[in-house]
Amino acid sequence: MTATGQIQPVFGGFGTVTRLCRLVTEDRTWKALGVEVLGINLPKCVITRTWNETLDAGTVEFGNTLGFFGGLYVLNAMVDKTLKRLRIPVHPDPKILSRGRIMKSFALVSPLFAFMFAVPYFRNALTAWRSGTTDFRNLISKGDQAKTALVEAKSRQHMRHNLKKGLGFIAAGVALGLAGFVFFASAPARVLLGKAKPGTWLQKGQSVLKAACLRGKDGKSYDDYYALAYWGVPCYTGLIAASRDPFEVKEQALKMLNFHFMYLVPNKIIQSAVKNSQQAYIRRFPQVYPGKVFSYGQWAQVHRTASQAIKSGLAKALRFENTRILTDLGVTTALMAVFPTVLNIYLTQKRIERARMLERS
């Protein structure tokens, strides 16, 4: 069953909203994309102190997003074709450890993890080439640096250093991904997927692999915790590692804490607030909530054969779930958009003023 082919006639007036909610529910990677663009990329590029900072932020923010999702799409297609030629399927249930899912996770996670970590280094090189600026403090308080021989020499050295580091991280990520893909392609099935005695190192290893693999029936979905571990962590640790001075380190550390907090906590609060209402729908329509989790596919199946009275209740359940999902997205995006950026501008200005006072004394 497809969202465009069969769901639209069933969902009726709820079609567009429902397709969006279903998309971010069944593949949480899309939630990460929405929050990233609306809650992080745009505010960081709009709420800035200088034009140089706008370009600097735009390079790393949209470079990360476009590179990650473009890379995910391209790598996923390449890996799927390779697995098909090797006749190694990806089991649609992530709770069942399968060779294809392990191989695919290594091939996708390692290069993309490395790419996210490397982008800030490429950003540094581009900013140094464009403006001559190699310090964050100058970036947020001045225009382009005067092109003196000393500034140009420092910029060239800064560019070489950052390009070398960025390319090195990407090469390491690609190598690790290929190594994992090849290793698990040839690992004995009885060791990799066979039953192991509880408590043994083999059983623990299989449990770790199962937990570490990407989610979704096609093995490429970044659920919430996976988005934090495989996206948020490399992105923000890369930003901190590539920071050009202590002022930037502190700004990126605050952004990292805010991202991880805001990505998870609003959802928990909203879920707690609507728990009683949701439980009522679960009791009324247990077929629509397999495992007590709302299913758009099950909703459509039940709706097709239900009486008019039941359809009215199903419509309310659908509206409730859509509202819950959109509220989570809206609150998360709004809190992530403004708070850290505005607070960082204020705190960094105070730090710079203190630094200037110490320099004059």
3-state secondary structure of 192: helix
Per-residue model confidence as pLDDT tens digits over 68-107: 888 888 999 999 999 999 999 999 999 899 999 999 999 9
The three-class DSSP label of residue 28 is coil
169 neighbors 117 (Cβ within 8 angstroms):
yes
Residues 325/24, Cβ–Cβ less than 8 Å: yes
Taking residues 284-309, what's their average pLDDT?
A: 89
Cα 221 to chain centroid, rounded = 10
Per-residue pLDDT tens digits for 226-266: 888 998 899 999 999 999 999 999 999 998 888 888 888 88
- Per-residue DSSP letters for 218-281? TS-B--HHHHIIIIIHHHHHHHHHT-SSHHHHHHHHHHHHHHHHHHHHHHHHHHHHTHHHHHHH
List CB contacts of 208: < 8 A, sequence separation 6 or more. Answer: none
Give the mean model confidence (pLDDT) for residues 207-222. Answer: 90
* Predicted TM-score (pTM) of this structure: 0.82
Helical pair 99-131 and 51-86, crossing angle rounded to 10 deg = 150
**pLDDT at residue 162, rounded to an integer:** 97
Distances from the Cα of 149 to the Cα of 125, 126, 128, 154, 155, angstroms: 18, 18, 14, 9, 10
pLDDT (mean) for 322-333: 88
C-alpha span between 210 and 83 (Å, rounded) = 19
